[in-house]
Amino acid sequence: MRVSVIATAGNIAGEALSNKSVVMFDILRASSTISTALANGCKEVIPVIDVEDAFALARQLPEGSFILGGERGAIKVTGFHLGNSPLEYTASVVKDKTVIISTTNGTKAIRYAAGENGRVFIGSLLNCSSVAKALADLSKDIVLVCAGTRGKFSLEDTLAAGLVIKDLLKFFNKNPWQAKTQEHNKFYLEETPIFNNDALILEDAAVAALRLAEYYWQSPIQGLLDSLHGQKLLQLGLAADLDYCSKLNHLTNVPVFFNDKIL
């Protein structure tokens, strides 16, 4: 199984996702909110890129059967019931309802990450171990897609990807950097790792994410506080969101986007 990490959803090439297990991370806050809403009993989550499309979809559903949620620039969209704080998506609010969500980065990243496969897992710090287990069970090459922030690298999403990789190594219970003899006279068209365990091969970006996870895993909240987007949320008075989104393996569910819905 080859593990790759894509730093921002905008950098996805279609062929990079073909016949692979794909996970999207936007931990501050779309993927954390989606996982929480489903854990609290919502019927389904429908990610929508444009605000106008979210309102149009809502008009097609029976009154009282849905929740409109999301943000632009971390601020709740005017006319939506909720913003993008996972703490808003309590059981008393979302149980048995369809959640229509539109966010600045996350919902667009989900659609990009689905690619031709049409299916993508939603990952966060809240469910790292469960996501890793689901990936291990599928035994396919893995692509971990970080939403990024406004098209740029985001520390917090890469940290989450690294923590999933860290858990994957536990499931395989092997050190991936065990020396493997290579044929010296063989011509390699691509870079081939000298160190691997035949079960997991980590590309350079995956190794970088893993090392980031090894630095922050005992205090994930510090990683969120060090990130620029985390600092923005802190300035907006959303420290409680950062605290919640940093709770490693707080949830056991693995949301899956398929056929335009997350279940």
* Residue 193, domain CATH: 3.90.1560.10
The pLDDT value recorded for residue 167 is: 96
Residues 22 and 34 in one domain: no
The pLDDT value recorded for residue 14 is: 67
CA 140/CA 21 separation, integer angstroms: 6
The pLDDT value recorded for residue 190 is: 72
Residues 120 and 188 in one domain: yes
Residues 185 and 226 in one domain: yes
Containing domain of residue 35, as a range?
30-102
Q: How far is CA 263 from CA 16, 38, 96, in A?
A: 24, 7, 12
CA 69/CA 167 separation, integer angstroms: 31
- Number of domains composing the chain: 2
Residues 52 and 169 in one domain: no
Give a yes or no: residue 256 inside a domain: no
Residues 18 and 63 in one domain: no
- Among 62, 83, 102, the domain boundary falls at 102
- Among 77, 102, 127, the domain boundary falls at 102
Residues 143 and 92 in one domain: no
CA 89/CA 69 separation, integer angstroms: 9
- Which residues of the chain register pLDDT less than 50? none
Residues 65 and 89 in one domain: yes
Given the DSSP bridges, would you call strands 119-123 and 21-25 parallel, antiparallel or unpaired? parallel
Give a yes or no: residue 260 inside a domain: no
Taking the model in full, what pTM does it have? 0.92
CA 121/CA 252 separation, integer angstroms: 13
The pLDDT value recorded for residue 135 is: 97
Give a yes or no: residue 258 inside a domain: no
Give a yes or no: residue 210 inside a domain: yes
The pLDDT value recorded for residue 195 is: 55
Question: What are the residues whose beta carbons fall under 8 Å from the beta carbon of 20, sequence distance 6 or more?
Answer: 117, 140, 141, 142, 143
- Among 54, 77, 102, the domain boundary falls at 102
Residues 186 and 57 in one domain: no
